[in-house]
């Protein structure tokens, strides 16, 4: 598990789980078996590598990043700490929360790192840390750590800086400028074709800020690409509640960006005249200079941005190829945001913008009314079914039939998930023993891990509140965390560490 939500389609599926089954995930046989304590909030999804030589022996290793700017490696089987690395510079602290309650009280490593097992001598973990120096200056740095020792590799870290032609927020001398203190790296890192891709978010909607995507060479850590999505406007950050930029086999990138400037005058090819793409579903080409290749905007996008009802509050998933009744194959992206509609776009023709439509007829499919709350989560996809957990809503299953999504859920959980909803993960052995894992993760209430039968979400297999004497409790929840399932265990980030669930030893 080297990247957020298991793969660069961000579908949340581990289809090689042979230990956990529909019959043994219950409160008698399954529960909390460990807790790996760390020094700060775990907002990033933990990552996992099997058979790593670390600490002098061959181990399965769990990697955990914290808001205290630390990265840990734990033996995934024994819970023993192998190494710990701080990415703070000399004389530096973590950032304060910048007057925003989204990540508080400190900001360090917020986004999920990414691992390349083949990079460097032993393999490399890439992560972005935010810090504050003794003079009050803020820094964003890309770090590359040896997976066996935690040591910074040669050339690491690199200071993140950028400018881009434009007249928007923070512009100077014809360029918008990246001001480190105005941003946090919330979206999970993407590794693709030798480049690490970063997408930056703001602190709440505290201007000035614009929408940045950057690429760095994984071998040199030098910046290779910069794109600003609102260069002549404002806002339009990449948030997605922790989901990462996705990529297809052709090297194209996909994501949802948040409320921001969108130009309503257009070039001949239907692109915004001033290149401002706020509040959009976006496709980027990485062939040559990084650039917007296609996009989709809702017909009421300007109103949605003005009311902070952005599409980019939730994350995207690239669906596997879908075949319709006529045999045509469709390449689809799915996402949802604060307007609670589910949007499916054709990645080969995303639809761009049409303000004259009372509904978005320019998109492949729009499902309205299926979700009962705003989306601050990423769906999961397994065996032809999409699983969504909106705020104040049940976890819902929407099957795909003939390349179209059902407009009503085929099953749903008995409980509803309070803010921020839930980002599910799915474990299965091929198409068998499908289990949907979901977290109740309010910061001010006990966290609860749930396991559901993927074929019927009304059938709850287990939750961490079932066992007597609070056996499986793990403290209050942690906003936006995503369960990671691998090798018979489920790892849950918390405010103080990672709770480990698995089969109980009799």
For 268-300, what is each residue's pLDDT tens digit?
Answer: 999 999 999 999 999 999 999 999 999 999 999
In the block, tokens 């910046």 appear at: 223
Rounded to whole angstroms, the Cα distance separating 302 from 260 reads 8
Question: b/e for 56-73, b at 16 or more Cβ within 10 A?
Answer: eeebbbbbbbbbbbbbbb
In this structure, are strands 30-37 and 138-146 parallel, antiparallel, or unpaired? unpaired
Q: Quick one: how far is CA 407 from the chain centroid?
A: 25
Look at residue 466 and tell me whether its pLDDT is greater than 90. yes
Chain segment 174-184, per-residue pLDDT in tens: 999 999 999 99
Tell me the Ramachandran region of residue 322: left when phi exceeds 0, alpha when psi lies from -120 to 50, beta otherwise.
beta
Look at residue 358 and tell me whether its pLDDT is greater than 80. no
Q: Identify the H or E element spanning 301.
A: helix 301-306
Look at residue 261 and tell me whether its pLDDT is greater than 90. yes
- Kindly state the average pLDDT of the residues 104-131: 98
In this structure, are strands 432-440 and 163-165 parallel, antiparallel, or unpaired? unpaired
Q: Quick one: how far is CA 292 from the chain centroid?
A: 21
CATH of the domain at 230: 2.140.10.10
E-assigned strands of 309-378? Answer: 317-318, 322-323, 329-330, 332-336, 342-346, 365-367
- Kindly state the average pLDDT of the residues 152-177: 98
Q: Has residue 33 been placed in a domain?
A: yes
Backbone angles phi, psi at 240, to 5 degrees: 55, 20
Average pLDDT of the residues of the chain: 97
Look at residue 445 and tell me whether its pLDDT is greater than 80. yes
Q: CB count, 10 Å around CB of 292?
A: 18
SS3 for 419?
coil
Look at residue 480 and tell me whether its pLDDT is greater than 90. no
Domain of 451 in residue numbering reads as 4-173+183-503
CA angle in degrees (0–180, nearest 5) for 208-177-272? 75
Which pLDDT band, with edges at 50, 70 and 90, does 134 fall under?
very high
Name the percent of the chain lying above pLDDT 70. 100
Asked if 260 and 167 touch (Cβ cutoff 8 Å), the reply is no
Rounded to whole angstroms, the Cα distance separating 381 from 425 reads 9
Look at residue 356 and tell me whether its pLDDT is greater than 80. no
Question: How many domains does the chain contain in total?
Answer: 1
Specify which residues 125 forms β-bridges with: 115, 145
Rounded to whole angstroms, the Cα distance separating 188 from 9 reads 12
Q: Has residue 10 been placed in a domain?
A: yes
Which pLDDT band, with edges at 50, 70 and 90, does 505 fall under?
confident
Rounded to whole angstroms, the Cα distance separating 375 from 313 reads 6
DSSP 373-402: S---S--EEETTEEEEE-TTEEEEEEEEET
- Kindly state the average pLDDT of the residues 9-16: 98
Q: Has residue 178 been placed in a domain?
A: no
Which pLDDT band, with edges at 50, 70 and 90, does 115 fall under?
very high
Higher pLDDT, 442 or 341: 341
Asked if residue 184 has a cis previous peptide bond (ω within 30° of 0), the answer is no
Q: Has residue 359 been placed in a domain?
A: yes
Tell me the Ramachandran region of residue 51: left when phi exceeds 0, alpha when psi lies from -120 to 50, beta otherwise.
left
Is the pTM of the predicted complex or chain greater than 0.95?
yes
Chain segment 394-443, per-residue pLDDT in tens: 999 999 999 999 999 999 999 999 999 999 999 999 999 999 999 999 89
Name the percent of the chain lying above pLDDT 90. 97
Q: Has residue 382 been placed in a domain?
A: yes
| 145: CB partners within 8 A, 6+ apart | 71, 85, 124, 125, 126, 127, 151, 152, 153, 156
Look at residue 357 and tell me whether its pLDDT is greater than 90. no
DSSP 156-167: --EE---EEE-S
Q: CB count, 10 Å around CB of 466?
A: 15
Rounded to whole angstroms, the Cα distance separating 147 from 59 reads 12
E-assigned strands of 249-331? Answer: 253-256, 281-285, 291-296, 317-318, 322-323, 329-330
Which pLDDT band, with edges at 50, 70 and 90, does 323 fall under?
very high
Cα dihedral: 181, 184, 185, 186 (round 10): 180
pLDDT value at residue 361 = 87
Q: CB count, 10 Å around CB of 397?
A: 24
């Amino acid at each position: 598990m080297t990247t957020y939500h298991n793969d660069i389609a961000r579908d949340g599926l581990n289809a090689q789980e042979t230990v956990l089954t529909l019959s043994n995930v219950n409160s008698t046989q399954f529960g909390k078996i460990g807790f790996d304590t760390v020094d700060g909030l775990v907002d990033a999804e933990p990552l996992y590598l099997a058979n790593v030589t670390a600490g002098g022996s061959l181990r399965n290793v769990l990697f955990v990043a914290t808001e205290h700017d630390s990265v840990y490696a734990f033996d995934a089987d024994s819970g023993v700490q192998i190494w710990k690395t701080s990415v703070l510079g000399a004389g530096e602290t973590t950032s304060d929360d910048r007057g925003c309650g989204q990540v508080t009280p400190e900001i360090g490593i917020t986004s999920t790192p990414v691992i390349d097992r083949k990079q460097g001598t032993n393999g490399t973990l890439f992560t972005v840390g935010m810090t504050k120096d003794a003079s009050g200056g803020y820094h964003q740095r890309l770090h590359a750590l040896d997976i066996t020792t935690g040591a910074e590799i040669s050339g690491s870290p690199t200071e993140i800086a950028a400018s881009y032609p434009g007249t928007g927020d923070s512009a100077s001398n014809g360029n918008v400028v990246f001001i480190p203190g105005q941003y946090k790296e919330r979206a999970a890192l993407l590794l693709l074709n030798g480049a690490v891709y970063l997408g930056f978010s703001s602190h709440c909607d505290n201007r000035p800020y614009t929408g940045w995507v950057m690429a760095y060479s994984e071998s040199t850590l030098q910046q290779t690409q910069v794109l600003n999505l609102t260069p002549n406007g404002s806002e339009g950050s990449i948030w997605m509640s922790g989901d990462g930029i996705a990529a297809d086999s052709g090297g194209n990138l996909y994501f949802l960006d948040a409320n921001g400037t969108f130009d309503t005058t257009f070039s001949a090819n239907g692109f915004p005249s001033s290149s401002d793409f706020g509040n959009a579903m976006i496709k980027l080409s990485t062939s040559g200079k990084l650039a917007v290749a296609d996009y989709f905007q809702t017909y009421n996008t300007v109103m949605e941005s003005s009311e902070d009802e952005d599409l980019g509050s939730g994350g995207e998933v690239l669906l596997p190829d879908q075949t319709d009744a006529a045999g045509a194959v469709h390449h689809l992206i799915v996402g949802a945001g604060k307007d609670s509609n589910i949007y499916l776009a054709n990645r080969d023709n995303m639809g761009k913008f049409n303000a004259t439509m009372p509904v978005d007829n320019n998109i492949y499919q729009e499902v309205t009314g299926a979700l009962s709350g705003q989306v601050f989560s990423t769906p999961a996809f397994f065996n032809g079914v999409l699983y969504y957990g909106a705020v104040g809503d049940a976890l819902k299953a929407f099957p795909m039939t003939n390349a179209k999504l059902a407009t009503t859920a085929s099953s749903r959980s008995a409980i509803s998930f309070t803010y921020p909803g839930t980002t599910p993960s799915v474990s299965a052995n091929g198409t068998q023993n499908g289990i949907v894992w979901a977290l109740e993760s309010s910061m001010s209430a006990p966290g609860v891990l749930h396991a559901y039968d993927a074929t019927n979400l009304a059938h709850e297999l287990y939750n961490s509140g079932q066992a007597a004497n609070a056996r499986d409790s793990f403290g209050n929840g942690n906003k936006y965390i995503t369960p990671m399932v691998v090798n018979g265990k489920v790892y849950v980030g918390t405010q103080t560490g990672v709770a480990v669930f698995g089969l109980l030893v009799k």
